[in-house]
Amino acid sequence: MKRAKALTIAGSDSGGGAGIQADLKTFQELKVFGMSAITAVTAQNTLGVHGVYPMSLEAIEQQLDAIGLDMGTEAVKTGMLFNSEIIELVVSKVKQYGWQQVVVDPVMIAKGGSALLQQEAVFAMKKYLLPVATVITPNIPEAEELTGLNIKSLAERKLAAEALFELGAKNVIIKGGHDTDDNLTDLLFDGKGFVELYSKRIFTENTHGTGCTFAAAIAACLAKGQTMEEAFQIAKEFVYCAIQKDLHIGSGHGPTNHWAYQEQQNRTVRS
């Protein structure tokens, strides 16, 4: 049987909750063959980011060529890209290999406050990366940084989504984890209309890596040929289950549970 493949281009999280590790776990759970190109190694646990070690451009290029020249991929997901040189390299490889489904998670700052993208790289993200994005998945602070808009209301979020679409992303999803009330709205804009997905906030400390997991689920679904709206719905459900059935690992902001979605699907099929 031919299996869909997805490539994550992101940073490594030694704690296993975010970055490359979250992406590969999500791909696997959604039955997509996962591949990776590591842009930076972070020393990270549930208490925060303790070190960031960017890879050389040569090392990143070799990883991308290794995939592009032999295996190919049905979807690409980008996460922590750290600086403008890495962004420009990734964009050139996306174009060289004609990779079509490109999910851009514009990772900037970890929940603990550590910078995962240098400030100078925001310009390159807007100018080079957004135009090759099938979808960009910022949280509210990232959408504010990319658009220069203040986002307090859903109406303002819609304006930000339109602004990101104008910068070249074919679809925009602004995530609601940073909503100020306890009803979270994730918003999709495809250039024509909006889709809103709602959930209640789950009260837990264990939300490390929710953004990575959400974007990886979108990439996995697109790799399998599902529509953007289907991918959006599955990703929201996947991450909700992962937060709801949290694992209580570590003494700080713990990881989510990447196998919870499949466990729920299995229960539904059996009952």
Ligand X SMILES: Nc1ncnc2c1ncn2[C@@H]1O[C@H](COP(=O)(O)OP(=O)(O)O)[C@@H](O)[C@H]1O
Ligand Y SMILES: Cc1ncc(COP(=O)(O)OP(=O)(O)O)c(N)n1
Give the integer Cα–Cα distance in Å for 213 and 235.
Answer: 8
Contact flags string 76-95 toward ligand Y, x per CB under 6 A:
---xx---------------
Locate tokens 């229960």: which residue? 267
What region, left, alpha or beta, does residue 168 occupy, with left being phi > 0 and alpha being psi -120 to 50 degrees? Answer: left
Contact flags string 11-40 toward ligand Y, x per CB under 6 A:
x-x----xx---------------------
Q: Using the rule CB under 6 A, is 211 a contact of ligand Y?
A: yes
Q: Which residues pair with 12 in a beta bridge?
A: 41
Q: Which does 240 bind (CB under 5 to 8 A by kind): ligand X, ligand Y, none?
A: ligand X
Among 40, 23, 16, CA closest to 250: 16
At 40, phi and psi to the nearest 5? -160, 150
- Of the residues 76, 81, 87, 116, which one makes contact with ligand Y according to CB under 6 A: 116
- Of the residues 37, 60, 107, 234, which one makes contact with ligand Y according to CB under 6 A: 107
Q: Using the rule CB under 6 A, is 240 a contact of ligand X?
A: yes
CA distances for 206 relative to 71, 83, 214, 246, 255, angstroms: 35, 28, 15, 6, 6
Q: Which does 201 bind (CB under 5 to 8 A by kind): ligand Y, ligand X, none?
A: ligand X
209 is catalytic: yes
Contact flags string 133-162 toward ligand Y, x per CB under 6 A:
------------------------------
- Hey, which residues between 169 and 228 contact ligand X (CB under 6 A)? 175-178, 184, 186, 199, 201-202, 207, 210-211, 214
DSSP, collapsed to helix, strand or coil, labels residue 35 as strand
Q: Catalytic residue among 209, 213, 221, 254, which?
A: 209
212 is catalytic: yes
Q: Catalytic residue among 39, 212, 213, 256, which?
A: 212
Total residues contacting ligand X (rule CB under 6 A)?
18
> What is the longest distance spanned by two Cα atoms in the chain?
53
Among 262, 191, 260, 258, CA closest to 228: 191
Q: Do the beta carbons of residue 19 and residue 10 sit within 8 Å? A: yes
Give the integer Cα–Cα distance in Å for 17 and 208.
Answer: 6
Instruction: Give every CB contact of residue 148 below 8 A, 6+ residues apart in sequence.
Output: none
- Of the residues 101, 137, 206, 210, which one makes contact with ligand Y according to CB under 6 A: 210
Segment interacting with ligand Y (CB under 6 A) among 96-104, 163-171, 207-215, 257-265? 207-215
Locate tokens 């099938």: which residue? 134
Residue with the shortest CB distance to ligand Y: 19
Q: Which residues contact ligand Y (rule: CB under 6 A)?
A: 10-11, 13, 18-19, 42, 44, 79-80, 107, 110-111, 116, 208-212
Catalytic annotation, residues:
175, 207, 209-212
